[in-house]
Each structure stands twice: as C-alpha cells, then as structure tokens.
C-alpha cells in the first residue's frame, strides 16, 4: 500500500516466456504517467489523481535490443555518460556456460549477462 505514489517514465518489457508488468493495488493518490509496459495490472482499489500517457508495448522479438537503443537515444545526456556501447546484436553478451560446473567455458548452454550503463542497468534473458 502506498500513498502519494508517482510511477513515471518507466520501460517494463516482458518476453513470451518471462512476463513483466506494472502492477498497482491498494494505493492512493497515484500518478501513473509516461510509462511503457508489455502489461499493466491496475486493481479497482487504486485511487488515481492522474493517469497520463501509458503505452502498451508489444512483446519484444529481438531480446529487447530495440528498446535498449530507444532508451539510450532518449538518455544521451545521462550524467556520467553511458558506460558501455550499444550492441548491434545481443550475441555479444552471450557466454557459454558449462552444465556440469555452472561456470563460463562450456558451449552447451548460453547465459545472457547484464549490460551496465552506470546508474542504469539492463538484464537480458
């Protein structure tokens, strides 16, 4: 339960096999604006004072790369700058993991590593 909740300027992207959403329940004096999400769950118990533009995203088919590029373009003036280049493909972040040790080094199972942009972080799965 929250009072005077501001939920703004977020990108929440789920995938076909991993859902993600913005959920609000039992909150009062809520401002929900300028968000993008693959799903929203807004319970009847939420008391809104303002609902602005909140876009519904299609489920990404590129692992979220286009959303990352969109976010990066919109945040070029992030204090301290971005700490990593925008990849042209998510393949550069996949490292093979050995199923026997669970450590990098085996070609059997890929794992996707987080991309660190200083104060912002993105994880791709």
pLDDT on residue 35: 92
pLDDT on residue 66: 83
pLDDT on residue 79: 56
8 Å CB contact between 31 and 7? yes
pLDDT on residue 89: 61
pLDDT on residue 114: 47
CA pair distance 12, 18, nearest whole angstrom: 12
pLDDT on residue 34: 92
Residues 43-56: tens digit of each pLDDT:
999 999 999 999 99
Q: Over pLDDT 70: what percentage of the chain?
A: 59
Two structure tokens written together for 18: 């991993």
pLDDT on residue 1: 84
Low-confidence ranges of the chain (pLDDT < 70): 75-125
pLDDT on residue 22: 93
Q: Nearest Cα to 80, choosing from 49, 118, 34?
A: 118
pLDDT on residue 108: 44
8 Å CB contact between 111 and 90? no
Contacts of 109 (CB under 8 A, 6+ apart): 96, 97, 98, 99
């Amino acid at each position: 339960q929250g009072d005077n909740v501001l939920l703004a300027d977020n990108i929440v992207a789920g995938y076909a096999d991993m859902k993600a959403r913005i959920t609000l329940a039992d909150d009062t004096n809520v401002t929900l604006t300028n968000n993008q999400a693959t799903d929203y769950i807004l319970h009847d118990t939420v008391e809104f004072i303002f609902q602005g533009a909140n876009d519904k995203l299609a489920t990404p088919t590129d692992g979220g790369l286009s959303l990352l590029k969109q976010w990066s373009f919109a945040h070029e003036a992030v204090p301290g700058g971005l700490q990593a280049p925008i990849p042209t493909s998510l393949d550069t972040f996949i490292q093979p993991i050995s199923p026997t040790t669970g450590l990098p080094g085996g070609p059997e199972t890929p794992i996707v590593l987080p991309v660190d942009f200083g104060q912002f972080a993105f994880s791709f799965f």
